[in-house]
Amino acid sequence: MATESDPRFHRSSEAILAAARELLIEQGPAAVTHAQVAKRAGIGRATVYRHWPRVDQLLAEAMATVPMPLFDAPTAPIRDWLHAELTALARLLELHDVRAVATTLAQGALWDPAMDSRRGQFAGVLSERLADALDSAAAAGEVELRTTAQSAAALAIGPIYYRSTIEREPVDSDFIDAAIDSLGVWSAPSR
């Protein structure tokens, strides 16, 4: 049996992570299971369990090394784009393992510097992308922001994150609209 000091251990670790990344990019986080990762990597399922006993830990590692798909490439009208992206986020957070990654990051960050840096990386990317999109919407006259663009991520994502991880209640379209309304006065209702 390979141990942590064994080069085979590192090779299988890399193979597992590569397979998890591929599945994540091609099919999304729900596809990252012990069974599918083992099959894709061409190694035994027991080996995957030995490296990552919990799939959310493997998912966190894979997510940290693939481009974040959320809030990327905004298109006008920004309100519609934002509604679609926040809906995608809400659907992702309905997946047990994504919820586990998100809450583990928040919790682990309080004690573990590596986890904290990963938390900061996720939060920073989301925050920057939303701020950029809102700044462009403001410049185009689509919205008059009520807060700084930097606050936008927390105001838009926060309610969805809280509802999903603390209340454990579903997020619907009206709820997402209310979160979008908190960002500012939008020039024309999109629906």
* Omega of the bond leading into 77 within 30 degrees of 0 (cis): yes
Smallest separation, CB 118 to its own copies (Å): 11
Tally Cβ neighbours within 10 Å of residue 150: 12
Residue number with CB closer to its own copies (136 or 165): 165
Smallest CA-to-CA distance from 27 within 16, 45, 40, 8 is with 40
118 binds its own copies (CB under 8 A): no
182 binds its own copies (CB under 8 A): yes
120 binds its own copies (CB under 8 A): yes
Long-range contacts from 145-153, C-beta under 8 angstroms, 24+ separation: 145/183, 145/184, 146/182, 146/183, 146/184, 146/185, 147/183, 147/184, 152/127, 152/183, 153/123, 153/126, 153/127
99 binds its own copies (CB under 8 A): yes
158 binds its own copies (CB under 8 A): yes
* Whether the Cβ atoms of residue 177 and residue 190 lie closer than 8 Å to each other: no
- Applying CB under 8 A, the span of 18-26, 33-41, 135-143, 157-165 interacting with its own copies comes to 157-165
Q: Which of residues 57-96 bind its own copies (CB under 8 A)?
A: 96
169 binds its own copies (CB under 8 A): yes
Could you give the residue ranges of the DSSP H alpha helices within the chain? 7-27, 34-41, 45-51, 55-63, 78-93, 96-108, 113-139, 152-162, 173-181
Binding test (CB under 8 A) with its own copies, winner from 122, 128, 135, 190:
122
144 binds its own copies (CB under 8 A): no
Chain positions contacting its own copies, by CB under 8 A? 96, 99-100, 102-107, 109-110, 119-120, 122-123, 127, 146-148, 151, 153-155, 157-163, 165-169, 174-175, 177-179, 181-183
